[in-house]
Amino acid sequence: MSLNALDQLKLGIIGLGYVGLPLAVEFGKTRPVVGFDINARRIAELSAGHDATLEVEDELLAQAQHLSFSADIDELQSCNVYIVTVPTPINGQKQPDLTPLIKASETLGKVVGRGDIVIYESTVYPGATEEDCIPVIEQVSGLTFNVDFYAGYSPERINPGDKLHRVTTIKKVTSGSTPEVADLVDALYASIITAGTHKASSIRVAEAAKVIENTQRDLNIALVNELAIIFNKLGIDTLEVLEAAGTKWNFLPFRPGLVGGHCIGIDPYYLTYKAQTAGYIPDVILAGRRINSNMGAYVADEMVKAMLKRRIHVNGSRILILGLTFKENCPDLRNTRVVDIVAALAEYGAQVDVYDPWASVEESEHEYGITPLAAPQPGQYDGIMLAVAHQQFRDLGVEAIRAWGKPDQVLYDLKYVLPQGEADLRL
């Protein structure tokens, strides 16, 4: 390996979702890249010049003149650097599910050659790359790690829907399985990352750095969620308290809410799993996860209580949830916790409708069995809950939103979309 080999690298990006596609596009502007995904429909859509996730605009996709897309593993044979950007979910027991990573590693084992480098970007616990993934590549390929092929780890930092913090403007952590490989991996990313890179001393350090980023954020949100519960019981407006406390220079500006998505609600379980295998019970991290996991049921109960105080019969009532995606102004439905609210209200006997102009009807039905409305009908609902702060809802204003409800209704604003006093409840 040599830094002089940088201009000879041909990349294969394994997985073309929210992480892999922006990366493939940036690299594809200046060097040959094969974007690989097992989803043939996804490949056809990207080959036609459109990204359904809306993470990459069509005009930016067209700028990647050296990028090709394929679902054919043979197309990867000509590559010498492979970057893995597949999901890392959890199973029903809230333990890491490495299935996508293992399958991607099996694929790599069929194409990796001598001198090649395999870089993982998927969020994992410390040790997963070298202990779980590399042995699979060795077994399938018959090659020896750090003799015949090498590895790197550079954790993704994509924020879906964020048009300000893009892949090139977010500082990138890099690492490699040998010092020379670490230099080459760092130089490779530095060729597109304008914000710069940070070269970690080892793959395990880079893995640990990634997993604690979202664990820290999860705990901070858990704290303000618990504060919101306390202040609600005390009859104090949570946002007023947070804004007052926020006048101090070092107070962190977190807000309460649902914690979903492919990162914050998932990644802490990778760290807690690894901690427990090392014989340590991470009480603080797990406590934060419990608080955030229970917020859907909590806000549903608050809605029910407010309806009962107005003598609205909950069993048989109609409730409209505004928003289904896991965050605002983004079509990403992965691990959305709005479904927890829907399920909890349904247990009370309410008929729950969901309206979200960003959500795919097909994906919503497939993933959650929920069919979002094309548009709510006026005057139909006993309760309305603003669950996701899409710009469309902000633009509507309180009168248009309340028009979907009956004259006697409860309007619950989870995301502080409306000014204080315009909703009946705020989280």
The tokens of 20 are what?
A: 């892999």
Regions of the chain where pLDDT drops below 70: 1-4
pLDDT in tens, 153-188: 999 998 877 777 889 999 999 999 999 999 999 999
How high is the pLDDT of residue 4? 52
How high is the pLDDT of residue 260? 87
How high is the pLDDT of residue 54? 87
Q: How far apart are CA 363 and CA 68, in angstroms?
A: 26
The H or E element containing residue 383 is: strand 381-386
Task: Quickly list DSSP for 119-182.
Answer: EE-S---TTHIIIIIHHHHHHHH---BTTTBEEEE------TT-SSS-GGGS-EEE-BSSHHHH
Q: What are residue 322's phi and psi, to 5 degrees? A: -100, 105
pLDDT in tens, 263-290: 888 999 999 999 999 999 999 999 999 9
Q: How far apart are CA 64 and CA 11, in angstroms?
A: 13
Question: CB within 8 A of 417, min separation 6: which ones?
Answer: 386, 389, 393, 394
Residue type (1 letter), 308: L
Q: How far apart are CA 293 and CA 180, in angstroms?
A: 43
Give the active site residues. Answer: 263
User: Is the dihedral angle over the CA atoms 371, 372, 378, 383 positive or is it negative?
Assistant: positive
